[in-house]
Structure 1
Amino acid sequence: MSTPVRTRRRPDTIDPIPWWLKVVGGLVIAFFILPTLFVIPMSFSSATTFQFPPPGFSLRLYENFFTNPIWLDSLGNSFLVASLTALLATTVGTAAAVALSGLDGRLARLVRTVLMVPIVSPAIVVAVAVYISFLGWRLTGTVTGYVLAHTAIAVPYVLVSVTGALGGFDQRLLKAAASLGASPLKSFVQVTMPLISRGILTGGIFAFIVSFDEVVIALFLRSPLFQTMPVQMYNSVTVEIDPTISAASSLMVVAVTIIFILPQLLRGRAGSRREPRP
Structure 2
Amino acid sequence: MRTSAPTSWTARVGRFSFRVYCALVLLFLAAPVVIVVPLAFSSADFLRFPPPSYSLRWFNNFFSRRDWMEAAANSFKIGFLTAGLATVLGTAAAYGLVRGRSRRKEALYAFFISPMIVPNIVFALALYYLFSRLRMVGNMWSLVLGHTVLALPPVIIVLSASLQSVDYALEQAAMIHGARRLRAFFEVTLPLILPGMVTAALFAFLVSFDDLLIALFLSGSRAVTLPKRMWDGVRLEIDPTVAAVALLVMLLPTVILVMTALLRKRAMGRGGEKATP
* TM-score for the superposition, normalised by structure 2: 0.84
Cα deviation code 1:132-183 (max 9, x no counterpart): 0001112211111110010010011100101111222211111111011111
Instruction: Please tell me whether residue 230 in structure 1 is matched to residue 250 in structure 2.
Output: no
How much has 1:225 moved relative to structure 2?
2.2
Q: How does 1:230-249 map to 2 (within 5 A)?
A: 230-249=227-246
Cα deviation code 1:14-66 (max 9, x no counterpart): xxxxx99x967776555434322221221001112222222101111111101
Aligned twin of 2:188: 191
Aligned twin of 1:148: 145
Cα deviation code 1:100-127 (max 9, x no counterpart): 1123565111111111111111010000
After the TM superposition, which of the residue ranges 254-263 and 123-132 deviates more from structure 2?
A: 254-263
Task: Could you tell me which runs of 5 or more consecutive residues in structure 1 were left unpaired when the two chains were aligned.
Answer: 1-18
Instruction: Please tell me whether residue 58 in structure 1 is matched to residue 91 in structure 2.
Output: no
Structure 1 residues 28 and 103 mapped into 2: Cα distance closer, same or farther (>3 Å)?
Answer: farther
| 2:35 paired residue among 35, 38, 46 | 38
Task: Could you tell me which runs of 5 or more consecutive residues in structure 2 were left unpaired when the two chains were aligned.
Answer: 1-14
Distance of 2:94 and 2:263 partners within structure 1: 25
Matched pairs, number: 255
8 Å contact from structure 1 (residues 236, 243) kept in 2 = no
Structure with the bigger percentage of helix: 2
Distance of 1:152 and 1:263 partners within structure 2: 22
How much has 1:245 moved relative to structure 2?
0.5
Provide the alpha-carbon RMSD of the alignment.
Answer: 2.4
Instruction: Please tell me whether residue 80 in structure 1 is matched to residue 48 in structure 2.
Output: no
Q: Secondary structure at the match of 1:58?
A: coil
After the TM superposition, which of the residue ranges 233-242 and 94-103 deviates more from structure 2?
A: 233-242
Instruction: Please tell me whether residue 117 in structure 1 is matched to residue 117 in structure 2.
Output: no
Structure 1 residues 206 and 195 mapped into 2: Cα distance closer, same or farther (>3 Å)?
Answer: same
Ranges of 4+ aligned residues in structure 1 off by more than 3 Å? 22-34, 103-106, 263-272
Distance of 2:134 and 2:200 partners within structure 1: 29
Cα deviation code 1:170-204 (max 9, x no counterpart): 11111111011111122111211122222212111
Q: How does 1:3-22 map to 2 (within 5 A)?
A: none
Distance of 2:191 and 2:23 partners within structure 1: 36
After the TM superposition, which of the residue ranges 106-115 and 63-72 deviates more from structure 2?
A: 106-115
| 2:162 paired residue among 128, 152, 165 | 165
Cα deviation code 1:76-115 (max 9, x no counterpart): 0000000000000011011100011123565111111111
Aligned partner letter, 1:126: F
How much has 1:255 moved relative to structure 2?
2.1
Aligned twin of 1:15: none
Q: Secondary structure at the match of 1:188?
A: helix
Q: Percent identity?
A: 40
Structure 1 residues 55 and 93 mapped into 2: Cα distance closer, same or farther (>3 Å)?
Answer: same
After the TM superposition, which of the residue ranges 49-58 and 230-239 deviates more from structure 2?
A: 49-58
Structure 1 residues 25 and 205 mapped into 2: Cα distance closer, same or farther (>3 Å)?
Answer: farther
Distance of 1:199 and 1:225 partners within structure 2: 34
Aligned partner letter, 1:197: L
* TM-score for the superposition, normalised by structure 1: 0.84
Aligned twin of 2:204: 207
Cα deviation code 1:228-277 (max 9, x no counterpart): 000000011112234210010111112222122134346657859x97xx
